[in-house]
Amino acid sequence: MIKDETVLLRIPCRYIGVAVLSLLAISTKNSVGSDLYQDQSGADNVRRLLDSQVAAWNKGDLKGFMAGYWKSEKLTFFSGDKIEHGWQATYDRYQKRYQAEGREMGTLTFSELKIEIIGPEMAWVRGRWKLVTSKETPRGLFTLVFKKLPEGWRIVHDHTSAGQ
């Protein structure tokens, strides 16, 4: 006799296997995701993007440099006490400062980069920048927030400061 609280199951073994594996897959999905935060793939991609920005800048290719930024009205660029909202405003700022009459783009380097991957889709980066032009050598710091978008990792926020 089977008591009220007991159930009799006739389940082909292969289905039990599939069910157990499926549940394990679901329950471990996120811990595998967490491990990814530690690995180098996100950091490598962010690093490559920064390298490509520097390479573009040093060829005088401002559009190539700007390809590292989120092409959105929601991009923010902080400098001094001035906020630029959006990709176009950020591009215009760079153009005015470095491509206008009598200006030059010079040679850019980044150093002391610290790339921190927060999750599968977010990262933040600290570093130093230095620009060597024929007249001066401005330098300073930046804090960048990155997001992994369908088009790849992009800077969604840039806070840049210069030495005084």
Q: Min. distance of Cβ 132 from a second copy in angstroms?
A: 15
Q: Min. distance of Cβ 44 from a second copy in angstroms?
A: 20
What are the Cα distances from residue 82, in Å, to 53, 74, 89?
23, 15, 12
* Shorter beta-carbon distance to a second copy: residue 79 or 133: 79
Burial (0-12, 13-18, 19+ Cβ within 10 Å), 30 = exposed
How many CB atoms neighbour CB 60 within 10 A? Answer: 13
- Residues of this chain, 24-53, that bind a second copy according to CB under 8 A: 26-27, 29-31, 33
* Shorter beta-carbon distance to a second copy: residue 31 or 134: 31
Binding-residue total with a second copy (CB under 8 A): 46
- Provide the mask over 69-88, with x wherever binding to a second copy is found by CB under 8 A and - wherever it is not: -------x-xxxxxx-----
The continuous run of DSSP H or E covering 13 comes out as helix 13-38
Q: Min. distance of Cβ 63 from a second copy in angstroms?
A: 25
In angstroms, the first-to-last Cα distance of the chain is 88
Name the residue among 8, 133, 149 with its Cα closest to residue 68. Answer: 149
Report yes or no: 75 and 87 within 8 Å, Cβ to Cβ: yes
* Shorter beta-carbon distance to a second copy: residue 63 or 82: 82
- Provide the mask over 105-144, with x wherever binding to a second copy is found by CB under 8 A and - wherever it is not: -------x-----xx--x-x-x-x----------xxxxx-
Contact flag: residue 149 with a second copy (CB under 8 A): no
37's CB contacts (< 8 A; 6+ apart) are 117, 118, 119, 120
- Which residues lie near a second copy (CB under 8 A)? 2, 5-14, 16, 23, 26-27, 29-31, 33, 76, 78-83, 112, 118-119, 122, 124, 126, 128, 139-143, 145, 157, 159-164
